[in-house]
A and B are shown apart, each in its own frame.
Chain A
Amino acid sequence: MAMTLNDDQNMLRESARDFMASEAPVTHFRKFRDMGCKDGFSHGLWKQFAEMGFTGILIPEAEGGMGMGQIEAGIVLEEIGRNLSPSPFLTTSVAAVEALKLADKAMRDRWFPGILAGETVIGIAIEEGVKHRPEKIACVAERSGNGFKLTGHKQFVVQGTSSDMLIVAARTAGAVGETDGLTLFAVDKDAAGLSMEAARLVDSAMAAHVKLEGVQVNADAVIGDVDGGWAVLSKMLDAGRVGAAAEMVGVGTGAMDMTFDYLKTRKQFDRVIGEFQALQHRAAHLYGEMEGARSIVLKAQSLMDEGHAKAELYVAAAKAKAGLACNLAVREGVQMHGGIGMTDEYDIGLYMKRDRGLNEFFGDAYYHADRVATMNGY
């Protein structure tokens, strides 16, 4: 595949760009932040996403979606990132949909219509510690009656308390640290024994700590195979990772563009500060880093869409690189803005906060660089 967007993809980019800029710009984010919204996003906007067709972008056409791939989902995510548009898109329409695509028909029929309509939100309940360690999942699912009984805790469940259903990874066999023996479950938010505590994060997103105290689910709540959940989990995580990387390309590019504009207007010592070579070289270096990130993300997306054997390696590299580049963009952004970069009134600081959240989502740059090393044989 050529590493350029085709005409259809360029059209999607234009419509996503126009939509986010007019319906969900940074002022939209600020409004929901400042009202202390318990969800951290607008349900009205989520409905509008559905009207645009975005919520079902990865759902097969035969099931009412757009049947597109990671490149297209990434196009939407980049615009979300650029505008800091708060929505359940990454968790629900990207990660959860990729997992549900591997579920049986009954479960897909249960959840896809709500996602397509912009009514359903799904939380991803994977993390149990402060860092991403999916193979260390200790939450237990014991066989019980017609199904399983889940016991354990989860954290960093983004939009957990706003979710209608949680995808919970639990251990049905094997020891902590093994990838075999995991199983994924679709758990209703109202299930007995399930409790959540919402926490507001640095970027104003809401994430939940979840307690599972003997939550009973039926056998039909299993997504994929019992004990073989790693395959579904890997697919869901990789979609989430490459999606987060695409969103970081948007966050980083948004921060970078804002900063370059500032360099061209801010005057000190009787000249525009963008005339100073010390800043020009840093700006050019940053541009190169963001261009690299954009490239590896596109490569990873296209390999995922092809089902290429190397996709996993490139997704890890893409999440790592996008994380490093976006982080540089927001740090340089605040520094080059000077004093006003530290104020809440200016947007650049909001980008810095968002970068932090996305970097941590499904594994940070160091975690993924380590995976690249392991996959490369050392």
Chain B
Amino acid sequence: MSELETFRAEARAWLEENCPAEMRTPAKGDEDVCWGGRNFVFQSDAQKLWLERCVAKGYTVPDWPKAYGGAGLSPQETKVLRQEMAKLGCRSPLNSFGIWMLGPALLKFGTEEQKVHYMGQIARGEIRWCQGYSEPGSGSDLVSMQTFGEDKGDHWVVNGQKIWTSYADKADWIFCLVRTDKTNKYQGISFLLFDMQTPGVTTKPIKLISGNSPFCETFFDNVVVPKHQIVGELNRGWDVAKYLLGHEREMISGMGGDGGVTSIGAAMKAVLSEEPVLRAQMALFDVENLTFRAHGERFMDEWKTGKAHPAYSNLMKYVGTELNKKRNELVMSIGGTQALEWESERSNGGSKARNWLRTKANSIEGGTSEVMLNVVSKRILEMPGA
């Protein structure tokens, strides 16, 4: 047996032994997902136990180094672990912007102290992070942002406003782009970390068309941030942000379809068999879904071996989000009038309609589809022009 197959057998045995039965069923909704943090209330003992066991094993962040709370697995081992988790239907023990976004940025740009401190907290699910990038006047044109940190010697005083801050009202800390030099557009931004309980920080949830409020407006009024809470160099926060946006696009690109290759068509057979045109649409969607899974697998294999173009995640983000929107349109069409119900128990509180509406943001957040196409065209295809 190869080393990797030995690892697969061990991982499977560990999962079978340690993943509670309740954690081998799909999460019922966003509130059923473990996000960790100071204020998180576990939905069940099983959820708490599953997190604790994974933390002890380093499996909340299996590919991070052990010194920072991970299990130190190789990319191949991590892939095998995820495959085995998928086979058993294991839920992710911990969802977190810290894992997906801040962690990778710290690993590349952070000091050793920052890695040990912040990455450790993330791995253990102790601190829940949010991201402060967009501002009311700075969406696709992010670099025009105005939130300003005034240099006060050993600290900055931050004033300004962020928008579309995911779960800012539930987060403990924020990683935030702050202008520290008004004379230099790109090289005048710093990447700061601070506690959301710092005096002067307030949040206000934004109600979306789905009726839910996953995003907030976040206001900073004379917020004091000590100088050691900067990641990377002063005024070079844009480099960190760009790197991190790559990770965000990679993460969002994974949203197409259902996280796997299982067709949603089989469960809808009764409707589809009577509507040949809808069945045909579903069939073509399944072709695209299988394609996207294979594409994602190939991209990850090339990414890990350094063969992928550095801008490739922009393409995956575009394809994956457009696919997810298409999928939810089909779910609504197949669901018919029942999918229109907004509150009933029968409709699980209107989950289909709310999810459908939520997906419309996929191709806006983290860079719009149009911006992604611009980036692919210029950086990968090397089309001319500004």
Listed in ascending order, the chain A residues whose CB lies under 8 Å from chain B are: 2-4, 260, 263-264, 271-272, 274-277, 280-281, 283-285, 287-288, 291-296, 298-299, 313-314, 317, 320-321, 324, 365-366, 368-370, 372-373, 376-378
Whether B294 contacts A264 by the Cβ 8 Å rule is: no
Whether A373 contacts B283 by the Cβ 8 Å rule is: yes
**Residues A280 and B377 in contact in the complex (CB < 8 Å), given A275-B385, A378-B268:** yes
Give the Cβ gap from B162 to chain A, nearest Cβ, in Å: 29
Q: Chain A residues near B284 (CB, 8 Å)?
A: 320, 369
Select A281's contact among B279, B370, B380, B384, beta carbons within 8 Å. B370
Whether B291 contacts A293 by the Cβ 8 Å rule is: yes
CB nearest to B272 among chain A residues: A378
Give the Cβ gap from A332 to chain B, nearest Cβ, in Å: 13
Q: How far is the CA of A370 from the CA of B265 in the complex (A)?
A: 12
Whether A313 contacts B315 by the Cβ 8 Å rule is: no
Whether B383 contacts A321 by the Cβ 8 Å rule is: no
- B374-386: contact bitstring with A at CB < 8 Å (1 yes, 0 no)? 1011101111110
Give the Cβ gap from B136 to chain A, nearest Cβ, in Å: 25
**Residues A280 and B383 in contact in the complex (CB < 8 Å), given A296-B290, A298-B294:** yes
Q: Chain A residues near B373 (CB, 8 Å)?
A: 280-281, 284-285
Q: How far is the CA of A296 from the CA of B280 in the complex (A)?
A: 20
Q: Does B95 contact A (CB under 8 A)?
A: no
Select B282's contact among A264, A280, A373, beta carbons within 8 Å. A373
**Residues A280 and B286 in contact in the complex (CB < 8 Å), given A3-B298, A296-B295:** no
Q: How far is the CA of A3 from the CA of B287 in the complex (A)?
A: 18
**Residues A283 and B383 in contact in the complex (CB < 8 Å), given A3-B294, A4-B307, A288-B319:** yes
CB nearest to A376 among chain B residues: B263
Select B297's contact among A283, A285, A293, A299, beta carbons within 8 Å. A299
Whether B301 contacts A2 by the Cβ 8 Å rule is: yes
Give the Cβ gap from A302 to chain B, nearest Cβ, in Å: 10
Q: Does B302 contact A (CB under 8 A)?
A: yes
Identify which of residues 145-163 in chain B touch chain A, using a CB-to-CB cut-off of 8 Å. Answer: none
Q: Chain A residues near B282 (CB, 8 Å)?
A: 373, 378
Q: Chain A residues near B297 (CB, 8 Å)?
A: 3, 295, 299
Q: How far is the CA of A81 from the CA of B315 in the complex (A)?
A: 25
**Residues A299 and B294 in contact in the complex (CB < 8 Å), given A4-B302, A283-B381, A376-B266:** yes
Whether B370 contacts A295 by the Cβ 8 Å rule is: no
- B301-313: contact bitstring with A at CB < 8 Å (1 yes, 0 no)? 1100101000000
Tell me how many residues of B have a C-beta within 8 Å of chain A. 43
Count, A-B residue pairs, CB within 8 A: 139
Whether A372 contacts B286 by the Cβ 8 Å rule is: yes
Could you pull out 28 A-B pairs where Cβ atoms are within 8 angstroms? A4-B301, A4-B305, A275-B384, A280-B374, A281-B377, A284-B372, A284-B376, A284-B381, A288-B318, A288-B376, A291-B295, A291-B315, A292-B294, A296-B290, A296-B294, A296-B295, A299-B290, A299-B297, A321-B291, A365-B287, A369-B280, A369-B283, A372-B287, A376-B266, A377-B265, A378-B265, A378-B269, A378-B279
Q: Does B329 contact A (CB under 8 A)?
A: no
Give the Cβ gap from B293 to chain A, nearest Cβ, in Å: 8
- B249-279: contact bitstring with A at CB < 8 Å (1 yes, 0 no)? 0000000000000010110110011000001
Whether A369 contacts B370 by the Cβ 8 Å rule is: no
CB nearest to A264 among chain B residues: B384
CB nearest to B319 among chain A residues: A288
Residue in B263, B280, B299, B383 whose Cβ sees the most chain A Cβ within 10 Å: B383
Q: How far is the CA of A146 from the CA of B305 in the complex (A)?
A: 59
Q: How far is the CA of A181 from the CA of B297 in the complex (A)?
A: 40
**Residues A376 and B265 in contact in the complex (CB < 8 Å), given A295-B298, A370-B283:** yes
Give the Cβ gap from A312 to chain B, nearest Cβ, in Å: 12
CB nearest to A373 among chain B residues: B283
Identify which of residues 327-386 in chain B touch chain A, using a CB-to-CB cut-off of 8 Å. Answer: 370, 372-374, 376-378, 380-385
CB nearest to A302 among chain B residues: B294
**Residues A317 and B377 in contact in the complex (CB < 8 Å), given A288-B315, A291-B315:** no
Known: A3-B297, A372-B283, A373-B282. 11 other contacts (CB 8 A): A280-B378, A280-B385, A284-B377, A288-B319, A299-B294, A321-B287, A321-B291, A369-B280, A370-B283, A376-B286, A378-B269
CB nearest to B292 among chain A residues: A292
Give the Cβ gap from B307 to chain A, nearest Cβ, in Å: 7
Q: How far is the CA of A169 from the CA of B66 in the complex (A)?
A: 61
Whether B290 contacts A372 by the Cβ 8 Å rule is: yes
**Residues A321 and B298 in contact in the complex (CB < 8 Å), given A4-B307, A287-B381, A378-B282:** no
Q: Chain A residues near B288 (CB, 8 Å)?
A: 292, 321
Residue in B272, B295, B301 whose Cβ sees the most chain A Cβ within 10 Å: B295
Q: Chain B residues near A4 (CB, 8 Å)?
A: 298, 301-302, 305, 307
